[in-house]
Structure formats: C-alpha cells, structure tokens
A = this chain, B = another copy of it.
Amino acid sequence: MKRILLTYTLSVLFLLPAFAGGKEGTSLLKYVNPFIGTTNFGTTNPGAICPNGMMSVVPFNVMGSEDNKYDKDARWWSTPYEYHNCFFTGYSHVNLSGVGCPELGSLLLMPTTGDLSVDYKEYGSRYKDEQASPGYYSNFLTRYNVKTEVTATSRTGVSRFTFPAGQSHVLLNLGEGLTNETGAFLRQVSDTEFEGMKVLGTFCYNPQAVFPIYFVMRVNKQPSASGYWKKQRPMTGVEAEWDLDNGRYKLYTRYHKEIAGDDIGAFLTFDTEEGEQIEVQMGVSFVSMENARLNLDKEQGGKNFNQVLAEARTRWEDDLSRILVEGGTEEQKTVFYTALYHTLIHPNILQDVNGQYPAMESNEILTTQGERYTVFSLWDTYRNVHQLLTLVYPERQLQMVRSMLDMYREHGWLPKWELYGRETLTMEGDPSIPVIVDTWLKGLRDFDIDLAYEAMYKSATLPGAKNLLRPDNDDYLSLGYVPLCEQYDNSVSHALEYYIADYSLSLLADALGKKEDARLFYNRSLGYKHYYSKEFGTFRPILPDGQFYSPFNPRQGENFEPNPGFHEGCAWNYTFYVPHDVKGLARLMGGQKLFIEKLQRVFDDGLYDPANEPDIAYAHLFSYFKGEEWRTQKEIQRLLQKYFKNAPDGIPGNDDTGTMSTWAIFNMMGFYPDCPGAPYYTLSTPVFDRVVIRLDAKTWGRDRLVIETERPSSESLYIRQMELGGKKLSRYRISHEELVKGGTLKFILR
C-alpha cells in the first residue's frame, strides 16, 4: 500500500503531548485520513494545515509529467494534489481545499540533489511512503533519496528535508502554481532568507479578482551557493544567437537584489552529509512582506519542526474532540472525523498576528480585534457548514458573521464568494442572508443586527443594474422570477437562490418585528411556483415573453454540461429545492402522494446528484410527510454508505470547502439542517451509538449535547422511537432550541 495512515508511530517518536494525556485516553487524529477526497474530484488534499489556518503546505503533483493522470494545464483542474498522480514538483504554500476552480497553490518548494536543474519538468520526482495526518505530511522522493516532511502553524509552514550526502538544493518556484495568475517579485535578504510577492487570482476565470500574497522564506543552514532563475523570453535573429539563455531558464548566480518576472524562482545549494536535515520555514501574509516576517517570527520563532508539529496536532486534537463518538465502525469513525477535519479548513483566517488584513475590494489595510475570516464559498456553505459551526464552534461562526459584516462596511456588499478580499461573484444568489439569519435566530447575537439587516435589505431590494449580488433583481422584483435572457444565464438557479434568501430574510424581519418586510419577503419566496411545468413535472426556464423555454429536456445538465436556466445540474437537481415551502411544492405537484412518488423516483432513477449542492437535502424532504420518514432514513444511510468512504474517492465530488463533509457529519449524527436560514433540523438514523457534542456552555446554557442510539442489531436502519430530554418525541423535525435545550436525543431503532 502506497500511502499509510500515520498513527501512534509518530507520537511515540516525537513524544507529542497531545497523545500523552488526552482526556479520552486516545487520540482522535488516527481517525483522520487526509487522503479521503483526494481523487474523484473531491479536491481535498493531504497537506499540512492547522484548523482554519491561513497556511497549508501541500504536495503538488499536478504538472510536469505525462506520467501524471491529470495535468493542471491540460484540463479544468482545481487542486494541487491528485491521489493517482505520481510526479511531485514541490510543496505549494497556501491552498484551497475542496473547490472547483483553480486558485492559489503557489510558492512551490522543492528539494533536489545532484546537478542543479530549475525546470520543473526536469527536477520533479516520483515518490513513495506517503504519510499524512492532521498537521503533517511526508513522502520519500525516490529520484533524490530525500525524505520530505511538512507541518504548519496558522500562518506559516515548515518543511524538513532529509538529504543524502553530496550536493543538495532547495528550490522556490514562483513561476508555477495552481493559480492562473502569473508574476512575482523576489529579494534575497540574506544568505538564508528571501522575501517576495506573488500575484494570485482570476478564480473561476474572473480576470479582475486579483490579489497579492507576500512571503518570507528562511533556511536553517548556510547555503554554499544561492541565486535566482528566470525563464527568458524567446528571441529571434542575431539576438537569439548571442543570448545563450534565449527562451530558457537563466540562472542568476551573481545578482542578489530584487528580481521580478512571470517565471522566476530562487535556489539554495548545500553541501549535505548523509541524513542531514534542513528545515525551510515559510511565513505568508496578504498584507505585506513585513507582516509575513512578523508572522514567521511570532509563530515559529525559536521552534523547530517537531515543536511546530506537536502544536499543530494539539490544535487538531482540541478541535476534533469537540465531538466524541462511540460505536460505529472504524471506517465510519474515520469518515466522520476526516469530514470534521475537512470542514475546519475553510473559512480561514486572513489577518496577520498583528491583526492587519487587506480590506474587502480595497487597497486599504485595516486591523481587526478578533479573527478576520476569508474564503467564503457561500453558495455551498450556507446550506450546512455554518449551521455546524454555529452549534459546535459558535465563537468561530460569530466571528465569521462579523467578518461578513465588515466586508459590507468596507465594500458595500455582503460576500457571495469572497476570496482573500476579492468578491469573485462565483455561483449565484444571495447566500450571506441565510447564514446571518440562521446564526441570529439560533441565538448567536453578538453582532450588529441592524447593520446586517441594512446589508441584506440592500441586496434584496436594490434595482438590478447597481445590484452586485442580484444582477437580475429588476426582473425578479417585477415578475417574481428571472426569465432566461441568455442561453446559459442560469436564470432558474438564480431565482431559486433569491427565494430561499428572501424566505430567510422574512424570518429575521419577523423576529425583528418588521412585519411588513416579513410579509414582502415571504411572498417573494413563493415565486418559485412560476417555474413549475405541469407538462414535465419539474421547474422549467421561462422566456422573456413569459412562455416556457422550448425544447425542454429536464435531464439536460447531468454531468455538468451547460443547461439553459440551470447552473451545474439538470431540472431534476433543482426542482425540489424549495426547502422553505415543501408542503406548497407538494400541493403544486398534486399532493403528498405524487410528491413522494416523484421524489422517490429521483433517487430510484438516478436523477439525484450527490456531488453538488442543489439537491443534497432532497432525502430529508420525505420526513416533512408523516409516515414517509423511513424513506429519509433509508436514503441517507444508502448515500452515506455509497459515497462516503475511508478511501481517496470517499467524497462524491468537490468537497466544496467542507459542504459535502458537513452533510456526512450531520447525517451520521442523526440530524440535518435541510432548510438554510430556518433554525430546524430533520432527524434521521445516526450511525454511531453515542455522540457527545461538547457545547460552549456560555452560548448554549449546557456543556454537552448527547445523542444516543439503541440499535437492536447492526443492520437496524429505521427509527422506532425517539426521546428528547427524556421525553418521547414524535416529530422528525425539531428546532435548534428544542435540540439544545433537550440535551439528550435518543433514538431507538427497530
């Protein structure tokens, strides 16, 4: 087996404190397999990172060799690592996990030996003995006989290379990376330190969503030589004859001042003894090189690799142990804790150790008192990630909402898909609204709700031309729906998002006593009915003249091919996405029986896409109807078993910054927030016998929520009986308040 999970071996070797006296007597880290999701387009990676950390150090294996199965430049590609690839070209610093567009994944750090080569197509290496656990990754480069290990703090990384005897090199490649932006700047500060800047951006091919990353790199040994390289532009004629570097990588051996270019890098050469270890530290910042240095000094000053690793492991142990599970198989525990691990990667901190961060869509540098979060993939995460954070990590969720409000203060808009201070406008809708409403309604209220309401009201009501978040608001407001104006404008998807956002906003308006607003937004949220086609029994795009779009094929859009009216899916993936009016949708479809039949057919006929967001709460909809809850329990278990595995393909598609993982987490615990913005959960069969969620007592009034399951046999699938707080419970949807106040939720299966 090529990859092995890192378990106790390391802890014994390093005498890590986290393992010595863990409260539960054993580490949860062994249940995290960072290789889950690293193929099948899960786009997670096995790199080293701390919870919600700015820094991740990830093995980069998606370029430079035809032996790789996938190449970043040969196709749409959005992750620095693919499990089935084999050609390692270094560690990328700061990466995205579980996204669908290429971005970041730069500052590539590579150890080599022998003659110096700075062309990644030449210097890349095959590898073996991959090991990964939270905060740690290691492999062995077979070409160079170099063992590589990486770990991280919140804002810095450190790599440890164990070299053979001879001439060894450390390369920093700024010319390549996952990002489609190019251009970097480098300066050798001393024999052992470099600082620089690289331009990143164009996420999801948005050409203006550009931002800089600053870094400081340090090595702990004096190099025997160092310098830069830069790929030279091709010359012609007599110039080409004279310039021997024409079109090639030129080595700058005597020049050590600033260098800049599209494809530049730095090399350090060392005389190493057999087994000699060299550590390379990398600090980053999105504010300045000075801050990158400050981050590095503060977080790694005086620490070696082992100390940094020990702290990273402790932090993961602390975070993962907020939920303790008993029962279930080792596989299920691994799926569960790995999902929790993946969910705790994004959003991540943006501010430096001094609190500075780049203001949203601005040149300004501001200072935050708490955390400033970034990487808000909200079209995904508004569905469940923020609900999980609210319950289990409320201090983080609150700070994320504050960050979103600060973005509004700085930029005039709440985020849609925010990335390191840029609004990439990826996907659609107004997803900040359900996040903020859900947080508030559940009781996390230490933020400026008036400002939040102002921000949400603005995007909900501002006419379209000036409305950054709802560009088609004019039609939406006047018609109650968005007509299809261009073949692939995703009009139905847009509107469905506006409906759920407006429903959320109506809940908050109601809670704030704004009864008229509440009515207005609630009424708007029912506009989905315009799209229902009796002929096809699905939603269907409407043309500007009011007629349905023809010819129409409700299955078009499967497998991500473009589809009029629908974004990344077919009509079936969207038709049941009215979580705020399930009963109303059922009436539209001819009543409960026909609704249930049709919904079941979606699953039976393979019309359900487990890999994307619009339909991921379909299975829970059965439970809105008395007597049909078993279908929820059955489908959820089937989906969990089929798509969530302790294997590299153990996530059905893009993890979407933890959204898929969070789907598994909730459902494995037995409850799921299927209507974003509404503080309710649908209950279903847990996979564990006992789940203890260690709650923040100050927030929730109690320090734990316990979910117990009595399971007559391991095959028991259906719920026979439930108790909440010791009292019998006969509903399959309960409020957040009921759940938390109940304290103990008990399932008795049959």
Residue ranges of A at the interface with B (Cβ–Cβ < 8 Å): 73-76, 180, 182-185, 188, 197-199, 201-202, 205, 207-208, 210-212, 230, 232-233, 235-239, 242-245, 250, 252-264, 358, 361, 363
A180 adjacent to B235 (CB under 8 Å): yes
| Chain copies in complex | 2
**Knowing A236-B73, A239-B76, A242-B205 touch, does A184 contact B254 (C-beta < 8 A)?**
no
**Knowing A197-B260, A202-B243, A239-B180 touch, does A252 contact B210 (C-beta < 8 A)?**
yes
B199 adjacent to A259 (CB under 8 Å): yes
| In the complex, residue of chain B having the shortest beta-carbon distance to the beta carbon of A361 | B254
Residues of B near A207 (CB, < 8 A) are 243-245, 250
- The minimal Cβ–Cβ distance linking A730 to chain B, given in whole angstroms, is 52
Residues of B near A73 (CB, < 8 A) are 235-237, 239
- The minimal Cβ–Cβ distance linking A361 to chain B, given in whole angstroms, is 7
Q: Could you tell me the distance between the alpha carbons of A182 and B262 in the complex, rounded to whole angstroms? A: 9
| Of the residues B201, B242, B256, B260, contact of A363 by C-beta under 8 Å | B256
Residues of B near A363 (CB, < 8 A) are 188, 256-257
**Knowing A243-B205, A254-B208 touch, does A184 contact B238 (C-beta < 8 A)?**
no
Residues of B near A202 (CB, < 8 A) are 243
A183 adjacent to B237 (CB under 8 Å): no
**Knowing A74-B236, A76-B238, A255-B211 touch, does A260 contact B184 (C-beta < 8 A)?**
yes
Residues of B near A199 (CB, < 8 A) are 258-261
Q: Could you tell me the distance between the alpha carbons of A207 and B242 in the complex, rounded to whole angstroms? A: 10
Given contacts A182-B261, A199-B261, A202-B243, could you give 4 more A-B pairs where the C-beta distance is less than 8 Å?
A185-B197, A199-B260, A205-B244, A208-B252
Residues of B near A264 (CB, < 8 A) are 183
- The minimal Cβ–Cβ distance linking A255 to chain B, given in whole angstroms, is 4
Q: Could you tell me the distance between the alpha carbons of A559 and B657 in the complex, rounded to whole angstroms? A: 68
- The minimal Cβ–Cβ distance linking A329 to chain B, given in whole angstroms, is 40
Cross-chain pairs A/B with CB under 8 angstroms, 19 sampled: A73-B237, A75-B237, A75-B238, A180-B235, A183-B260, A184-B260, A185-B260, A188-B363, A197-B258, A199-B258, A199-B259, A208-B252, A208-B253, A212-B258, A254-B361, A257-B358, A260-B261, A261-B261, A262-B263
Residues of B near A197 (CB, < 8 A) are 185, 258, 260
Q: Could you tell me the distance between the alpha carbons of A647 and B483 in the complex, rounded to whole angstroms? A: 72
Q: Could you tell me the distance between the alpha carbons of A238 and B232 in the complex, rounded to whole angstroms? A: 26
| Of the residues B74, B180, B198, contact of A237 by C-beta under 8 Å | B74
| Of the residues B208, B236, B255, B257, contact of A255 by C-beta under 8 Å | B208
- The minimal Cβ–Cβ distance linking A228 to chain B, given in whole angstroms, is 9
| In the complex, residue of chain B having the shortest beta-carbon distance to the beta carbon of A186 | B260
B243 adjacent to A180 (CB under 8 Å): yes
A258 adjacent to B75 (CB under 8 Å): no
Residues of B near A76 (CB, < 8 A) are 238-239, 242
| In the complex, residue of chain B having the shortest beta-carbon distance to the beta carbon of A246 | B180
| In the complex, residue of chain B having the shortest beta-carbon distance to the beta carbon of A185 | B260
- The minimal Cβ–Cβ distance linking A426 to chain B, given in whole angstroms, is 13
B212 adjacent to A257 (CB under 8 Å): yes
Residues of B near A259 (CB, < 8 A) are 183, 199
Residues of B near A208 (CB, < 8 A) are 252-255
Residues of B near A238 (CB, < 8 A) are 75-76
The interface centre, meaning the residue of A260, A261, A264 with most chain B CB atoms within 10 A of its CB, is: A260
